[in-house]
Amino acid sequence: MSPQQKNEIISLLSIIAISALLGAVFDLSFLFVAVTLFVYILFMLRNIFRLHNWLLNRKKDLPDAQGYWGEIFNELYLIEKKTLKQKKLLSGALSRFKKAAQALPDGVIILSQYNEIEWVNPIANNLLGINTKKDKGQKINNLIRHPDFQRYLIKSNFSKTMTIPSPANIDNILTLQIIPFGYKQKMIFCRDVTHVNKLEEMRTNFVSNVSHEMRSPLTVLTGYLEMFSNKLPDDETSFKLGIDNMYQQAARMQRLVTDLLALSKMETAPVEHTKTVNVAALLISLKENAEVLGQDKHQTILLEADESLNLRGNTDELHSLFSNLINNAVRYTPENGEISISWKKLGKQAVFSVKDNGPGIAPQHIPHLTERFYRADIDRSRESGGTGLGLAIVKYAIERHDGQLDILSKLDEGSSFSCYFPEQRLILNSSNNAA
Ligand code: ADP
């Protein structure tokens, strides 16, 4: 028993004793004690009602009282103050948590123990198409209906993530992971992995394409080598044909490896484009190479280059870029065709372009031409010694020089490949002595 409670009992007993003594004077002790107790009960009731009223409306101040009731109200006041402080701390922590979850790059959903949506961050709204206002309280399995998710939700072990197409956009791939917390509550983390999936798909396709490209020359080579190891052909013509074929296939593999190495170098090497490249001089030598490459076709190759216009960049990458476009024009343009190469200023930019009057490219192929191993005309590409990587290299090299590739082509009329370089890449020289 607390000292206050002892005091209250002592006070009550004292009042009863005093009223009994007073009553004894008039010989009415019983009546005096009864009246005193009645007044005491009224006093108690009044304070109980005041307490109850305050409990019904906690916004009001606590009632004032003396003695034991004063102590009770004081204790209540201290408890109320502590609760308010804790509430403030909690709501501060909650709002900090919400802010942190809102800033997360991943989607977050908080579920009740019955898998009902309690809270969703904006990323999860977008990724899963959840509308916080409308869907709050809804069961998550009514919104994400994919069977794999339904199975995952009833599992007890969530250590692994799961992957599903987004219910908001079937083309987007999401990974989800459930993290249990509190009393049977769950938190779902979701992330858009469409890009990663595409990269993985590209990697697998790339490996299978390279293997496919290598397989046919290797089959030819091993076929001839097997034949020759069994018995060398008697006549010189068959022998020479075999050697020629082997040479062509080996050269094809060599071109493929060279192109693959060029691509991988551009993918991994940091962009170090500090050299001043004399584009006009480079184009003169590439034009000479092109004339040798197409010497049997009697094509007309024209070059118009602004000698005062240099590029800040990487000589090897620009060499690859220009030579791939020029050589493609030579390879695809038939006999007596015309090819024009130009390098000039166009407004603030500079443009390198190669035009030919060759077979042209059908419009459906144009957006895919810079993909690795994409060929608009497979037979023509292989016949002319193509690897299918030329325009992929061109695209990389242009991007690494902050430029843009523009392809215009019409079937049976010809093609035009133009590369635009921005102002900050240009160096104008009146007397040209760049590399
Ligand atoms: P390839 O080694 O097959 O030439 P590229 O990546 O250099 O590979 O070119 C991709 C495809 O674009 C080629 O297979 C060809 O179909 C088409 N192409 C490129 N340049 C020309 C051109 N000047 N005229 C017609 N088609 C072209």
Averaged pLDDT in 10-residue chunks for the chain of 435 residues: 86 93 92 94 92 84 84 89 91 86 88 93 93 91 93 88 93 94 90 92 90 92 93 90 94 94 88 89 96 93 96 94 97 96 97 97 96 90 88 96 96 97 90 56
Give yes or no for residue 405 CB within 6 A of ligand 1: no
Rounded distance between C-alpha atoms, residue 180 and residue 158, angstroms? 8
Do residue 350 and residue 434 come from a single domain? yes
pLDDT at 418: 98
Domain with 166 in it: what CATH number?
3.30.450.20
Q: What is the DSSP letter of 287?
A: H
Boundary residue ending a domain (244, 269, 294): 269
pLDDT of residue 398: 96
Q: Is the CB of 375 under 6 A from ligand 1?
A: yes
193: Cβ–Cβ under 8 A, 6 or more apart, which residues? 163, 173, 174, 175
For 251, the domain range is 199-269
6-41 per-residue burial string, b: 16 or more CB within 10 A, e: under 16: eebeeeeeeeeeebeeebeeeeeeeebbeebeeeee
CA distance 220 to 218: 5
Let me know if residue 99 belongs to a domain: no
81 and 188 co-located in one domain:
no
- What per-residue confidence (pLDDT) applies to 433? 55
CATH assignment at residue 212: 1.10.287.130
Minimum CA distance residue for ligand 1 atom 7: 390
Domain check: are 229 and 135 in the same one? Answer: no
* Cβ of residue 386 lying under 6 Å from some atom of ligand 1: yes
Is the domain of 86 the same as that of 177? no
- In terms of phi and psi (left: phi > 0; alpha: psi -120 to 50; beta: otherwise), the region of 166 is beta
Same-domain status, 335 and 361: yes
332 lines ligand 1 (CB under 6 A): yes
The pLDDT value given to residue 431: 59
Is 100 contained in some domain?
no
β-pairing, 338-346 with 300-305? parallel
Within a domain: residue 165?
yes
Structural domains counted in the chain: 4
CA distance 272 to 274: 6
Residues 375 and 424 in one domain: yes
How many residues appear in the chain?
435
Residue type, position 284, single letter: I
